Amino acid sequence: MNTRKLSSFDLKSRDFIYTSLSNTLSSATNPRDLHKIHSLIITLGLYKYVLFSGKLISKYSQFKNPLASLSIFGQSSHKNNVYMWNTIIRAMTHNGLFSKALDIYTQMRGLKIKPDNYTFPAVINSCANLLDFETAKLVQEHVLDVGFGSDLYVCNALIDMYSRLNDFGRARNVFDKMPKRDLVTWNSLISGYSSNGYWEEALEIFFKLRMAGLIPDCFTVSGVLCACSGLMEVDEGRVVHGLVEKIGVKKDVTVSNGLLSMYFKFDRLMDSRNFFDNMDVRDAVTWNTMICGYFQFGLYEESIKLFLQMVQYFKPDSLTVASVLQACGHVRDLKSGRSIHEYLVKNGYKDDITANNVIINMYVKCGELLAARKVFDSMKSRDLVSWNSIISGYVENKFYEEGINLFKLMKIELEPDSITYLILLSLCIHCVDTYYAMQLHCNIIKSFGSTITLGNALVDVYAKIGKMEDSKKQFENMETRDIVTWNTIIAACNHCEDCSFGLRIISRMRNEGITFEVATLLSTLPLCSFLGAKRQAKELHGCIFRLGFESNVSIGNAVIEMYSKSGMLGYSIRVFKLMKTKDVISWTALISAYGMYGEGKKALRAFEGMRKVGVVPDHIFFVAILFACSHSGLVREGRACFDQMKKDYSIEPRKEHYACMVDLLSRSGMLAEAEEFILSMPLKPDASIWGALLSACRAGGDIKIAERVSEHLLELNSDDPGYHILASNAFAALGKWDQVKMIRKSLRTRGLKKQPGFSWLEIQNRVYIFGTGERFFEQHQEVSDLLDILSDLMAKEGYVADLRYVLHDVEEDEKFDLLCGHSERLAIAFGLLNTEPGSPLQIMKNLRVCGDCHTATKYISKIVQREILVRDANRFHLFKDGTCSCGDKW
């Protein structure tokens, strides 16, 4: 009886230990407890129970110790038990060891252990994570073989897998054949669609789900939010937000994060902020979304501040750090950048490739190339982004050779991508290296064929290195073009001053029905400014209204410039007045406009107005105001502006400001003072400064100073042929033909060509262009005859040709012919012949108007009684009844 009692007690206590230990094991919350329980199980010999081995495996996996799980499984004697296999496979997938999971599954099949419906979901999940389509199909066959083709869990896993693999045909096939579906089934399909960018489809499934009478949960809402954000469907988004409130999933932090991120995607900064402030639960992702969202709004300091707040509550992960490091780079906050770098190293992100890439980028942006390189060199493995980042770092910091060398090294390790080539193409622009650009072009064709982005970059590069023909060829050869292609070619036309081609491009765009973007207009408007094409200008202005861009500040600024350069100062002023927001550039545009028309007083008054509204001038603004003063002979006022710039705005004068001052003094005939000013400058005077003085000397006829200044100018040996021509002209005026010949020879040997002069005018929507000395145009004979008649009439009025403006050493009467061949005269004569008597004429010239032509035009305006508006490279001259608006201070 005693024995029986005892053994009954024994059994009971055994039973008790078994159950309580099993419970303790399940509820263990830390690895230390787990170890203790594990030892106890070994001591008590409970290993022989399948239950304990299995629970230990999953518990270790829960604490991220898959190696312990594997070791227990290896030592286990229950290899014929499917529960053990299921457990170890799940342990592996739980720890992200998907190929190990598949290995074990293969072993299991080899041992002919029959899987059950708990086996497959984890196996299928592994295939999905590995994007292993082939194994996936084999597993599905296996599923059908062993008869789990209709199992809810297995089918859900299959749908998830196929939709993640972007094979919605198979996913839908499984979905359609299921005898019974649950919410997870629908959710899997929705998130599959939305994470692959099939947003409409995701919403469609969502509506079907609702029609089927199911109540959405957090998973559903997350997927739908992602789709709404992608579609930028504000209305849908609102509906979902309402739904979130209604079904009460708002306390789910993932759903809230989804909403937060949606508001950012809709550019609703304040809504995002309010939502964030009212969130009950926040996690690291919440903070990341905020930091990243603020970054995308350009609120860099704010996003760094958010980061500093976040670290009080959460340990930032590599994703957080990636966002905030970008912000540091943007504002060149090296101090924060460095400390975050240290944080990453200390917290075990040393080998996170993305984190390192972002650090490299941050250092590059802060100009710390050596620090960037040190990180790059210390990386265990590098990806494309790492290489591209460091190469672009070298290019950005102007170490071009090192950039190319790194590119060579890169090619040994991996295949460069299109971004690598974009970086190298930008290098070509900086170095003006046509040969290397062509070499890259060949490589690009070999490795990528033709892609739009690279094609666009090539159009851009060829134009910027001055190969406009190659740029056009590249543009024409492109099979497909996007709006950027068009914007780029127009910008290219601008850069190379190939305006007529630019206008043709614009009409091609119209014919092809391509909608203009702000960027398109920002390249097109300067094209019209350059051409001074009135009709095109008005048409474009209309187009701006139709597209609703009239309140865009940059557009407004460009329109002011366009009208002023097209001879329509009134329109320019009106546009300025109507602009709701004006920045310093708008004011600069207005003041330059006044300056070009010699309205210096009005320019100064506008400056007063600008000061009153509190807009702060910058250094470019001062160029404009000094220009305006100098073109109106306002010496005292100009000097005052120059002094103010330094005193009131602490802007250190640059070369261009000194050049304006020299221009101001010398234009008003104060040549000696101008020379003195140059010699007392704190900067070394360059060609533009001496050039300003020299061109005034010539107009003022001071030969002595002209000769001295010419010597200075030639010493500097500028790359701009204009200054050599200027000096050569000065010597020609002095009759020093030997010097002239020498300059011409040196220009020839250096390959510098004088920019050919041409003039153009618009008559009835057509632009007519005339080159100097050109004889092949419509009505050449008539034009020539008219010029002959005009010169007779001019002579009677007292005109004497100023032969100093002829550069060639030829006979006097031939010189006279050469003057008459100047492009502006041809254009004026052509204009007189083809427009109504008494109507005003408007002529554009690419260079500065010649002094003799200036005089001649004054006479012509009186003889024919016409207003002649001439825009040269600098400004407008309005000729009227024998005088010019520039007051001869051209």
Nearer to DNA, 454 or 674 (CB): 454
Write the DSSP assignment of 403-454 as a string of letters: HHHHHHHHHHHS---HHHHHHHHHHHHHHT-HHHHHHHHHHHHHHH---HHH
The least distance separating DNA from the CB of residue 358, rounded to whole angstroms, comes to 5
Mask: binding to DNA, 133-162, rule CB under 7 A, as x and -? -------------------xx--xx--x--
Which tokens belong to 212?
A: 């089927």
Residue 255 or residue 870: which is nearer to DNA going by CB? 255
DSSP 3-state of 266: coil
Beta-bridged to residue 769, according to DSSP, are: 760
Q: Does 130 bind DNA (CB under 7 A)?
A: no
Q: Which is nearer to DNA, 94 or 736 (CB)?
A: 94
Number of residues that bind DNA (CB under 7 A): 70
Closest to DNA by CB, 426 vs 630, is 426
Task: State in angstroms the smallest separation of the CB of 508 from DNA.
Answer: 22
Nearest approach in angstroms of CB 414 to DNA is 12
Q: Which of 297-300's residues contact partners 24+ apart within 8 Å by CB, and which partners?
A: 297/269, 300/327, 300/328, 300/330, 300/331, 300/333
- CB-based contact 700:671 (threshold 8 Å): yes
**Rule CB under 7 A: is residue 56 a binding residue for DNA?**
no
Task: Kindly state whether residue 214 participates in binding DNA, applying the rule CB under 7 A.
Answer: no
Residue 370 to residues 363, 385, 391, 394, 404, Cα–Cα distance (Å) = 8, 18, 13, 10, 17
The per-residue DSSP string of 717-772 comes to: T-S-HHHHHHHHHHHHHTT-HHHHHHHHHHHHHTT--PPPPEEEEEETTEEEEEET
Q: What is the DSSP letter of 380?
A: S
Is 543 among the residues that bind DNA (CB under 7 A)? no
Q: For residue 303, state whether it binds DNA (rule: CB under 7 A).
A: no
3-state secondary structure of 879: strand
Rule CB under 7 A: choose which of 95, 361, 524, 630 binds DNA. 361
> Residue 222 interacts with DNA (CB under 7 A)?
yes
354 binds DNA (CB under 7 A): yes
Residue 58 binding DNA, by CB under 7 A:
no
Question: Is 191 or 668 the residue whose CB approaches DNA more closely?
Answer: 191
Least distance in Å: CB of 158 to DNA?
9
- Work out the number of other CB atoms within 10 angstroms of the CB of residue 400: 17
Q: Does 125 bind DNA (CB under 7 A)?
A: yes
| Three-class DSSP category at 439 | helix
Reduced to 3 states, what is the DSSP secondary structure of residue 876?
strand
Binds DNA (CB under 7 A): choice among 54, 66, 115, 121: 121
For the CB of residue 287, give the shortest distance to DNA in the complex, in Å: 8
* Closest to DNA by CB, 120 or 859: 120
- Can you name the residues that pair with 883 across neighbouring β-strands? 880
- Report d(CA 886, CA 875) in Å as an integer: 9
Under the criterion CB under 7 A, does residue 457 sit at the interface with DNA? Answer: yes
Contact in structure between 445 and 418 (CB atoms under 8 Å): no
Question: Is 297 among the residues that bind DNA (CB under 7 A)?
Answer: no
Q: Which of the residues 87 through 106 are near DNA (CB under 7 A)?
A: 90, 93
Contact with DNA (CB under 7 A) among 76, 119, 261, 523: 261
Smallest gap from residue 854 Cβ to DNA (A): 42
Which part of the chain contacts DNA (CB under 7 A), choosing from 74-82, 255-263, 549-557, 576-584?
Answer: 255-263
Told to check if 218 binds DNA by CB under 7 A, we report yes
- Residue whose C-alpha is closest to residue 69's, from 59, 82, 81, 80: 59
- Which amino acid appears at position 645 of this protein? M
Tell me whether strands 876-880 and 766-771 are parallel, antiparallel or unpaired: unpaired
Transcribe 531-587 into DSSP letters: HT-HHHHHHHHHHHHHHT-TT-HHHHHHHHHHHHHTT-HHHHHHHHHH-SS--HHHH
422 near DNA, judged by CB under 7 A: yes
Binder to DNA among 87, 392, 632, 695 (CB under 7 A)? 392
Does 243 bind DNA (CB under 7 A)? Our answer is no
Q: How far apart are CA 173 and CA 155, in angstroms?
A: 10
Instruction: Please identify, among the stretches 186-194, 597-605, 837-845, 857-865, the one whose residues bind DNA according to the rule CB under 7 A.
Output: 186-194
What DSSP string describes 118-174? THHHHHHHHHHHHT-HHHHHHHHHHHHHTT-TT-HHHHHHHHHHHHHTT-HHHHHHH
Least separation in angstroms between residue 60's CB and DNA is 17
Q: Residues 22, 65, 135, 254: which binds DNA (CB under 7 A)?
A: 254
The rounded distance, in Å, linking the Cα atoms of 763 and 777 is: 15
Q: Is 69 in the site for DNA (CB under 7 A)?
A: no
* Interface segment toward DNA; rule CB under 7 A; list 51-59, 103-111, 235-243, 386-394: 386-394
| Residue of 132, 352, 707, 762 interacting with DNA (CB under 7 A) | 352
Round the CA-based radius of gyration of the chain to a whole number and report it: 39
- Regarding 224 and contact with DNA (CB under 7 A), the answer is no
CB of 268 to DNA, least distance (A): 16
523 binds DNA (CB under 7 A): no
Q: Which helix (H) or strand (E) holds 813?
A: helix 812-820
Is 531:563 a contact under the CB 8 Å cutoff? no
Nearest C-alpha neighbor of 514 from the set 500, 526, 524, 529: 524
Q: Specify the stretch interacting with DNA by CB under 7 A; choose among 15-23, 284-292, 640-648, 872-880.
A: 284-292
Residues in Cβ contact with 316 at an 8 Å cutoff, skipping those fewer than 6 apart: 284, 287, 307, 310, 324, 343
Q: Which is nearer to DNA, 357 or 630 (CB)?
A: 357
138: Cβ contacts below 8 Å, ≥ 6 apart = none
Whether residue 122 contacts residue 93, with contact meaning beta carbons closer than 8 Å, is answered with yes
187, 520, 588, 695: which one contacts DNA (CB under 7 A)? 187
User: Should residue 122 be labelled a site residue for DNA when binding is judged by CB under 7 A?
Assistant: yes
Give the number of other CB atoms < 10 A from CB of residue 889. Answer: 16
For 841, the enclosing helix (H) or strand (E) is: strand 841-845
| Residue 223 sits in the site that holds DNA (CB under 7 A) | yes
What residues form DSSP beta bridges with 876?
Answer: 871
In the list 205, 358, 459, 820, the residue contacting DNA (rule: CB under 7 A) is: 358
Least distance from DNA to the Cβ atom of residue 119, Å: 11
Residue 318 binding DNA, by CB under 7 A: yes
- Contact between 290 and 271 (Cβ < 8 Å): no
Could you say whether residue 201 binds DNA (CB under 7 A)?
A: no
Among 82, 183, 331, 734, interactor with DNA by CB under 7 A: 183
Compute the least distance from the CB of residue 516 to DNA, in Å: 18
Tokens in use for 229? 């954000």
Q: Which is nearer to DNA, 426 or 710 (CB)?
A: 426
Nearer to DNA, 191 or 729 (CB): 191
Pick the binder of DNA from 76, 87, 95, 188 (CB under 7 A): 188
Q: Does 283 bind DNA (CB under 7 A)?
A: yes
Residue closer to DNA by CB (options 392, 695) is 392
- Segments of 246-326 assigned E as strands: none
- Does 384 interact with DNA (rule: CB under 7 A)? yes
Please state the separation of Cα 452 from the chain's center in Å. 16
Q: 378 is written with which tokens?
A: 């210390």
Asked if residue 76 binds DNA (CB under 7 A), the reply is: no
Which of 320, 471, 592, 855 is in the footprint of DNA by CB under 7 A?
320
Side chain identity at residue 497, one-letter code: E
Interacting residues with DNA (CB under 7 A): 90, 93, 121-122, 124-125, 152-153, 156-157, 160, 164, 182-185, 187-188, 191, 195, 217-219, 222-223, 226, 252-255, 257-258, 261, 283-286, 288-289, 292, 317-323, 326, 352-355, 357-358, 361, 383-385, 388-389, 392, 396, 417, 419, 422-423, 426, 453, 457, 460
